[in-house]
Amino acid sequence: MKKITALALAALATTFVVPASAQFAKAEDAVKYRQSAFFVMQQNFGRVAGMAAGKVPFDAKVAADSAAVAEYVGKLPWAAFGQGTDKGDTKAKAAIWTDKATFDEGANKMQAEMVKLAAAAKTGNLDNIKVAANAVGGTCKSCHDDFKAK
Amino acid sequence: MKKITALALAALATTFVVPASAQFAKAEDAVKYRQSAFFVMQQNFGRVAGMAAGKVPFDAKVAADSAAVAEYVGKLPWAAFGQGTDKGDTKAKAAIWTDKATFDEGANKMQAEMVKLAAAAKTGNLDNIKVAANAVGGTCKSCHDDFKAK
């Protein structure tokens, strides 16, 4: 019985994405956590974007793997923007907390475009990847403009 | 038709794990990448280990989500231990590269125990989680003793 419930929850969790209810011991841990997740995401996305831009030779397997990792890890940073994590070694602007609805919308848009990129990369079609990578890049920039200090 | 193929590939990708073939622009990026992935993994594993140790109230959903993230992200650092990434801001010992077989064995053991922990966490059974979390912790310690400077 317990098992069935757990499986049902697991199924839900894969549908509604999995950013573990954030419980960080210290605010610094939350800051480092979101920076770490963004870095892992960016390294993987950057690899695909580099191929899309023709700066790196296209390798369909690497593109698909990297986009899949970027999609997954791109779900993680958001749980680490809790109250009280606006201080310390962070470029996060106050607007993240004062205009949380807009921030959340941007975060969701990025994740939605990343899902499309991962799907495009799985097809192995470079033209599709270019379109999707541009869309992801647009969501990164738009959010950074508003919510990340230079 | 294309859509069906993409879905079939997606199903495969979730079966066979996805550590992107490492292509880092700079050695520093590789070092930061593996440190970032380890940190994200450790934060998620630590949450589950805290529950297993009775230091944090048990929450089955958080444990299952966190263990799933730790399992996934625990696959990522290894691609970033390429040649030439032994310098700079890293505690990686030279033995990682001179005794790569042992290092790889430890990395694989950790990942295997993390799979078991994620499975245990999905059952929601705290006793199973305790056993699995201890096993993961053992693999962390054993590898750190041999391959990570204090």
Cα–Cα dist B87/A137, whole Å: 31
Q: Do B37 and A36 touch (CB under 8 A)?
A: yes
Residues 91-150 of B with CB under 8 A from A: 122-125
| B28 interfacial to chain A (CB closer than 8 Å) | no
Please count the CA atoms within 13 angstroms of the CA of A75 that sit on its side-chain side. Answer: 22
| A66 interfacial to chain B (CB closer than 8 Å) | yes
Domain B27-147 architecture:
Up-down Bundle (1.20)
Q: What is the 3-state secondary structure (H, E, C) of A42-80?
A: HHHHHHHHHHHCCCCCCCHHHHHHHHHHHHHHCCCHHHH
Q: Helix B27-52 vs helix B126-147: angle between axes, to the nearest 10 degrees? A: 140
Tell me the two tokens of residue A58: 């296209």
Nearest chain A alpha carbon to B33: A40
Whole-number pLDDT of residue A22: 55
> Could you state, in order of their start, the residue ranges of all structural domains in chain A?
27-147
| Positions at the binding site of A for heme c | 140, 143-144
pLDDT (mean) for B116-120: 98
Whole-number pLDDT of residue A112: 98
Q: Do B13 and A47 touch (CB under 8 A)?
A: no
pLDDT (mean) for B22-42: 94
| B58 interfacial to chain A (CB closer than 8 Å) | no
| Residue B13, pLDDT above cutoff 60 | no
Burial A75-110 (b: 16+ CB within 10 A, else e): bbbbbbbeeebbeeebebbeebbeeeeebeebbebb
| A29 interfacial to chain B (CB closer than 8 Å) | yes
How many residues would you count in chain A?
150
Residue B92 annotated as part of some ligand binding site: no
Tell me the two tokens of residue A115: 């899902």
Q: What is the pLDDT along chain A (150 residues), one digit of tens a residue?
A: 344 444 444 443 333 333 444 589 999 999 999 999 999 999 999 999 999 999 999 999 999 999 999 999 999 999 999 999 999 999 999 999 999 999 999 999 999 999 999 999 999 999 999 999 999 999 999 999 999 999
